[in-house]
Amino acid sequence: MQCRFCKNKLEHVFVDLINTPASNSFLTKEQLNEPESFFPLKLFVCENCKLVQIDEYKKSDDIFNQDYAYFSSYSTSWLKHAENYVEMIVKKLSLNETSYVTEIASNDGYLLQYFQEKQIPCIGIEPTSSTASVAKQKGIEVIEDFFNTNLAKNLKKSDLILGNNVLAHVPDINDFVKGLKIALKNNGIITMEFPHLLNLIKENQFDTIYHEHFSYLSLYTLIQIFEKQELKIFDVEKLPTHGGSLRIYATHIENNDLETSKNVENILNEEKEFGLFDMNIYAIFQEKANKVKYDLLEFLLQAKKENKKVVAYGAAAKGNTLLNYAGIKNDLIEFVVDKSPYKQGKFMPASHIPIVKEKKIQELQPDYILILPWNIKDEVIEQLSYIKEWNGKFVVAVPELKVIS
């Protein structure tokens, strides 16, 4: 296996989460009696460029199909994040009705709707028809396709190209970034948000690893990837989203109007001090993932012995990674609650835990609710605060097991 960026031979395993189904391949009742496809969930780190990556065991067009069930608009905090971004970037770049904005992986229009409200022309690129159709219902123009150099050549050049949590989903990252350059105006700006590899390791976020995430990025590695396509990262911000993300600002390497911010050097220094430039830090991650697995299993088995009722909240991809790596089934967790009607009535892959509406919590009155999307735990705790009426408690497993009264 070769590095998807620099083509160096990959020999160092970062973490092996064994074979699992694709994390968003939720099952219908009929499919419970059918065989499931399992794929290796094994990550490598490139000794040369330090890109952490998975092989494309499951093709991206098989993952991002018409049954894709992740809809961004079902997270209140994520909608607020999108709205705040639009307010900020419109002022920063002085965008108006003569500007042009392209969002890659525009999902259900969760973000472009705020540009639309300001009468700023925009278009979304989104390969999954399930989410794209929702965006179109909002009046947003969407091209249903994967973004690449071929598509970029046919797009109107943009003042702003943005992508939130899309870089990780790209199997051919060189072609993708080359496409960004092609589709960008001479003085245009690119912003990309992605979970920061430093936080993944530091906070033990192994459950953010799944087949649709092909790459796990540091600023150090991303600068190399962008520079190869003659793009420069001139600024970067830390974000609290997805357990700790970075938002990079990039432009053409020949655009001399923008000086590189001190922020870039600061975060590179932080990454170096943490150890991301060396191989040692990557060798210890498996042990950290294993500890979460053992602690969660121990907690659930003890709860079972004590006849405690345990349910989960959030049929998120990260939840499937955690449950399937730990080998947890529907005998230990009775159901998972999720806001999305596209997931309700279905079952979690491999574990076969049913996905239900929130009212089931009121009916069962569980002793514990395991919050699978720990990145929105504060939002969930506030939403389900009524479980205190029967002394119910919340549980998170990452970065370490914690019971919250």
Give the whole-angstrom CA distance, residue 189 versus residue 180.
10
The pLDDT tens digits for 144-155 are 999 999 999 999
pLDDT at position 151, please?
Answer: 98
pLDDT at position 212, please?
Answer: 87
Read off the pLDDT band of 74 (50, 70, 90). low
Q: Is the pLDDT of residue 58 over 70?
A: no
Give the whole-angstrom CA distance, residue 24 versus residue 47.
30
Strand partners, 92: none
Q: Is the pLDDT of residue 71 over 90?
A: no
pLDDT at position 77, please?
Answer: 84
Question: Which class is 72-274 in CATH?
Answer: alpha beta
Task: Report residue 10 as tokens.
Answer: 């990959």
Provide the total of helices (H) and of strands (E) in the chain, helices listed first.
13, 17
Residues in the chain, total: 405
Q: Answer for the pair 189, 159: CB distance below 8 angstroms, yes or no.
A: yes
Which positions ≥6 away from 215 have C-beta within 8 Å? 4, 51, 52, 53, 167, 168, 170, 173
Please state, for a pLDDT cut of 90, what percent of the chain lies above it. Answer: 89
The pLDDT tens digits for 281-291 are 999 999 999 99
The answer to whether domain 72-274 and domain 285-404 are alike in fold is: yes
Using alpha carbons, list the distances in angstroms from residue 131 to 112, 239, 318, 345, 359: 13, 25, 19, 19, 25
The pLDDT tens digits for 79-115 are 999 999 999 999 999 999 999 999 999 999 999 999 9
Q: Does residue 67 or residue 128 have the better pLDDT?
A: 128
Q: Is the pLDDT of residue 72 over 70?
A: no
pLDDT at position 23, please?
Answer: 86
Give the whole-angstrom CA distance, residue 402 versus residue 405.
10
How large is the C-alpha radius of gyration of the chain?
A: 21
pLDDT at position 342, please?
Answer: 87
Give the whole-angstrom CA distance, residue 57 versus residue 214.
10
Q: Is the pLDDT of residue 11 over 60?
A: yes
The pLDDT tens digits for 294-319 are 999 999 999 999 999 999 999 988 99
Q: Is the pLDDT of residue 73 over 80?
A: no
Region of residue 275 (left: phi > 0; alpha: psi -120 to 50; beta: else): left
The pLDDT tens digits for 241-253 are 888 999 999 999 9
Read off the pLDDT band of 197 (50, 70, 90). very high
pLDDT at position 65, please?
Answer: 47
Read off the pLDDT band of 327 (50, 70, 90). very high
Angle at 127 between CA 120 and CA 150, to 5 degrees: 85
Please state, for a pLDDT cut of 70, what percent of the chain lies above it. Answer: 96
- Three-class DSSP category at 69: coil
Question: Whole-model pTM?
Answer: 0.91
Q: Is the pLDDT of residue 63 over 70?
A: no
State the amino acid at position 109 in one-letter form: G
Read off the pLDDT band of 67 (50, 70, 90). low
Four-way CATH pick for 285-404: 3.30.360.10, 3.40.50.720, 3.40.50.150, 3.40.640.10: 3.40.50.720
Which positions ≥6 away from 269 have C-beta within 8 Å? none
Tell me what the pLDDT averaged over the chain comes to. Answer: 94
Mean pLDDT confidence for 192-221? 96
pLDDT at position 24, please?
Answer: 84
DSSP class of 17 = E
- Three-class DSSP category at 99: coil
Lowest mean pLDDT, pick from 162-166, 225-229, 240-244: 240-244
Q: Where are the domains of the chain?
A: 72-274, 285-404
Mean pLDDT confidence for 320-338? 97
Question: Which one, of 190, 140, 120, 182, lies nearest residue 161 by Cα?
Answer: 190
CB half-sphere exposure, 369, CA atoms < 13 A: 32
Q: Is the pLDDT of residue 59 over 60?
A: no
Q: Is the pLDDT of residue 351 over 60?
A: yes
Question: Which one, of 82, 166, 172, 156, lies nearest residue 123 by Cα?
Answer: 156
